[in-house]
Structure 1
């Protein structure tokens, strides 16, 4: 039986995502030989970022302008809203493409070679890539494309809006690109089961566009959608029947056993009630197969990246994602719903993880690893570090951690010696009152002590902060800003910090008890049958509008002090830069 697993646009082009390699490894271990994984995100960028493709887009934009001008000359012509802006964008593209298209191949080569480590060339190359994508995507104005994202005027939180986007050849950037470059090879492979991983809202329209194109040409293929986005929309899927016209099923939570059983049923009796974690339609009703299944991480194989085009990613070396655990061991942060992506917290044994790292490092010729856990427990970090040191492997790694008291100088020192280059922390705020209200379970003095410890041993760090948590005042937000702009942090190699504006996310603890957080009300946005968040009104602290202004101010202050490249642009690029600058390259 042929299975095709797809990772759609848009996602960061620096490294592969872990979902498909994890599923592929499990299916192959279970005897499913004919499984192919494709990162259409990076494949598409490789197609677009060529002089030839730019030239083709140039000609199509010229033709579109001619048609527009012919229509403008017709009697009784009335300009549609936005027509002038659209024409200006197309004219700008025609003027710009001939020069910029000559730079695009060189930019790609730079990002994939040692030229990557020349910061000026790195920044110039990323700017060229994004400028090219932005300019050629004016063909679909007002839609736009960057290396990291796509933007359309259709809301991804409304099934009605999504369906308008799926068939709109004028504005859906992906429709003709898929038809021209990807659909033929997908249909030629003749899969019986296609799995599409949608892990970010930026992948919803691109992923569903591809699903519909495949379904329109082959009704027999079973299309299933997996990933964290629709795991958060289980209740919504009960009410949105229309999605099942282009998708046969959704796999929520974890997908290894689900996909294996689904493949068996698609190839056999089609008794879908036997497939764990599946949502599907049967007898005009939506079925949800519960209780939901959680994988035993210690029975899962090492991820398998075979088939992914590792040389196409925009980096000179592979930074491979691995997981030491699934779920969040803390699970109490008031603003967070990430813990809902997994049913419970589980660890992979350290010896198995070390085996994963060794196998992957040898097979794919890289020392670079990114632990993608929500946060790696300190004891797990100690065991991994000890194992790496005992084996004397030249591994360079980074991962997400919490500000735990157990993260002392001894632990940090051992981690650094084992190859830890950088740690990623969710600081959120440096004001203790706000931290306590967030239920972060951390103390400001511990935060300072741990970051000082990182500086002492030579581990870089990244800080996430949140602006506008309910009841937060401007003074408290500025307290956090002052903390992250400390000179010793700014002067430390590899330091990065990204602020986000507070958004009230579906199923986060704060939604269960709004009054505790000084909220007058919370409201679901109208027309969003696939909504992932809420509007809210505050009784005290910054209003949403004031928080937005403070957020913009914080961004401006950080931008003055921190160059976004490479550390704020890409975690994995930053890992490569830190290691390179220490003169410890892998051979």
Structure 2
């Protein structure tokens, strides 16, 4: 059984489980069950029945707090009072929203999705209702996209405190009430949990611990990019292996197949590539790490995932044309920790993937999830789609390359390309050069203008606060993003992020070059993915954070976040619907 835990965007399925499921089934492991617990739990929570149950529990919690009001230590506690206020607010608002929850969810699964006013209202109702229900676990909070707890996901000690906290870990009771029995009654010999985002760490490990406490015979492994970045940390944290048996790092297809064989056989885990596990009280890491041959992998298999439950009227399916990044030079990036090298899938196999998935799951919508699709691959994909006359609508992540000219963009548009996702990061040439982005501002402008001419929308990612960046340089980027022509174009979106010093990024290898006075790993974070830092020039981290919030405000005033900033797949559906395609 393969599980994808909360929290993740509810619009579409993630690619990890369908890729693993397809490979295992291809190799003769047919009894594979894949489940997206994120969308399963959201579907359960977003009902009148569940909301009513939460409401009754909130009323009960308020009564108990009222009865203990005279207890000096409790009533004087700021956290106690804040929780009381959160519960009181929820008790007042839930009755007004409870009948709107299911209609909001159903709107996003129907043609009402394409009515922008109804779309925005539905998203608001869903997030508001989840926030109100999670008041029961204050200060923890839950939205459709994320969960937030006071426990740091970068500290194993805090994670383990969260795993047993009945008062604040909302997932404990959700799993017990709605998920556990369906796994325990199954039960799997091998359970794999995919953790690809830090927001999934506590929910994923909570589930693992609950299962371990109830059935020690189930072999539990965790895969995904988060723990791939933490291989060295896992060597030093024995406690992590008290709730799981192993971690699969880097790519998982052959690793999972070999693990299935060993769990079912002699349990010689030395034969499982990419495995991190404990043996004789020693943490072992099976190297060299195995990289998959993309041309030997089957088409992803989404069978078993509840495609009708996602918050969209049609499926936008993720596919990969490559793994890794072909550029690999950006100074702020540590994606090399996710994939050992760059590999392409042959275009004819990719075309077969698209044909198979489009026919099987009745959708023309695809998102190429590569870090950046190479130019030659874009050219071949477009040519093949045109020649085969497939009515496919697609979007992809790309780099600003000179080869992305009007001719190529025109061919891409004719083949069904609706939108491109760019990592701009900055529009200041000095900052771009220091980042080692390998792009020029004039090329950026020419490409985006060519996109407008071709009728292709675009999304821009920008970074605020890269070391030595000044406020004036950040403003330069903001001014460019707010170009009138871009704001007026259908589907334009932009998402800023605050610079974070990521573990093992090139910046950390040569801090003096980037005007850094010091790098500091937080002492309590034994699962840390980054560093604190001090600068000798440019904006300080505090100044960068203020500029980041200013950029957010400016973008919010001039660029509606719905639907294009809220969800790239949702935006793809909107683009094609607006065009009447």
TM score, norm. by length of structure 2 = 0.99
Q: Is the aligned partner of 1:35 residue 2:66? A: no
Q: Is the aligned partner of 1:533 residue 2:530? A: yes
Whether the 8 Å contact between 2:74 and 2:80 is mirrored in structure 1 is: no
Q: 1:210 to 1:76 in 2, by over 3 A?
A: closer
Question: Given the alignment, which residue of 434, 440, 460 partners 1:463?
Answer: 460
Whether the 8 Å contact between 2:75 and 2:81 is mirrored in structure 1 is: no
Structure 1 gap segments, 5+ residues each: none
Q: Secondary structure at the residue paired with 1:542?
A: coil
- 2:370 is aligned to 373
- 1:200-248, CA deviations, whole angstroms, 9 ceiling, x for partnerless residues? 0000000000000011111011100000000000000000110000010
- 2:182 is aligned to 185
- 1:320 is aligned to 317
Q: 1:218 to 1:349 in 2, by over 3 A?
A: same
Q: Is the aligned partner of 1:506 residue 2:533? A: no
Question: Given the alignment, which residue of 327, 338, 341 partners 1:341?
Answer: 338
Q: Is the aligned partner of 1:474 residue 2:471? A: yes
Which is further off, 290-299 or 90-99?
Answer: 90-99
Q: Secondary structure at the residue paired with 1:537?
A: strand
Superposed displacement of residue 76, structure 1: 8.0
Which is further off, 417-426 or 76-85?
Answer: 76-85
Q: Secondary structure at the residue paired with 1:528?
A: coil
Q: Secondary structure at the residue paired with 2:68?
A: helix
- 1:559 is aligned to 556
Whether the 8 Å contact between 2:490 and 2:575 is mirrored in structure 1 is: yes
For 1:445 and 1:44, the matched residues in 2 are separated by 47
Question: Given the alignment, which residue of 286, 290, 301 partners 1:289?
Answer: 286
- 1:425-478, CA deviations, whole angstroms, 9 ceiling, x for partnerless residues? 000000000000000000111101100000001000000000000000111111
For 2:209 and 2:74, the matched residues in 1 are separated by 35
- 1:496 is aligned to 493
For 1:512 and 1:576, the matched residues in 2 are separated by 42
- 2:15 is aligned to 18
Q: Secondary structure at the residue paired with 2:185?
A: helix
For 2:575 and 2:33, the matched residues in 1 are separated by 34
- 1:238 is aligned to 235
For 1:407 and 1:576, the matched residues in 2 are separated by 24
Which is further off, 67-76 or 189-198?
Answer: 67-76
Superposed displacement of residue 77, structure 1: 6.1
For 1:85 and 1:546, the matched residues in 2 are separated by 30
For 1:229 and 1:475, the matched residues in 2 are separated by 34
For 1:149 and 1:399, the matched residues in 2 are separated by 24
Superposed displacement of residue 339, structure 1: 2.5
Equivalences for 1:252-331 in 2 at 5 Å? 252-331=249-328
Structure 2 gap segments, 5+ residues each: none
- 1:460-510, CA deviations, whole angstroms, 9 ceiling, x for partnerless residues? 000000000000011111110010000000000000000000000001110
- 1:524 is aligned to 521
For 1:255 and 1:78, the matched residues in 2 are separated by 51
Question: Given the alignment, which residue of 95, 102, 110 partners 2:107?
Answer: 110
- 2:124 is aligned to 127
Q: Is the aligned partner of 1:404 residue 2:401? A: yes
Superposed displacement of residue 73, structure 1: 3.8
For 2:272 and 2:238, the matched residues in 1 are separated by 20
Q: Secondary structure at the residue paired with 1:291?
A: coil
For 1:340 and 1:582, the matched residues in 2 are separated by 40
Q: Secondary structure at the residue paired with 1:525?
A: coil
For 2:81 and 2:424, the matched residues in 1 are separated by 45
Q: Is the aligned partner of 1:424 residue 2:421? A: yes
Q: Secondary structure at the residue paired with 1:102?
A: helix
Q: Which runs of 4+ in 1 moved over 3 A?
A: 73-81
For 1:384 and 1:78, the matched residues in 2 are separated by 64
- 1:200 is aligned to 197
Q: Secondary structure at the residue paired with 2:507?
A: helix
Whether the 8 Å contact between 2:4 and 2:38 is mirrored in structure 1 is: yes
For 1:66 and 1:474, the matched residues in 2 are separated by 51
For 1:554 and 1:190, the matched residues in 2 are separated by 50
For 1:66 and 1:494, the matched residues in 2 are separated by 49
Superposed displacement of residue 74, structure 1: 5.5
- 1:389 is aligned to 386
Q: Is the aligned partner of 1:93 residue 2:94? A: no
- 1:151 is aligned to 148
Superposed displacement of residue 338, structure 1: 1.6
For 2:409 and 2:75, the matched residues in 1 are separated by 67
User: Size of the alignment, in residue pairs?
Assistant: 581
Superposed displacement of residue 79, structure 1: 3.5
For 1:434 and 1:428, the matched residues in 2 are separated by 9
For 1:422 and 1:373, the matched residues in 2 are separated by 14
Superposed displacement of residue 340, structure 1: 1.7
Q: 1:73 to 1:350 in 2, by over 3 A?
A: same
For 2:135 and 2:492, the matched residues in 1 are separated by 35
Whether the 8 Å contact between 2:191 and 2:219 is mirrored in structure 1 is: yes
For 1:92 and 1:546, the matched residues in 2 are separated by 34
For 1:450 and 1:378, the matched residues in 2 are separated by 13
Superposed displacement of residue 81, structure 1: 3.8
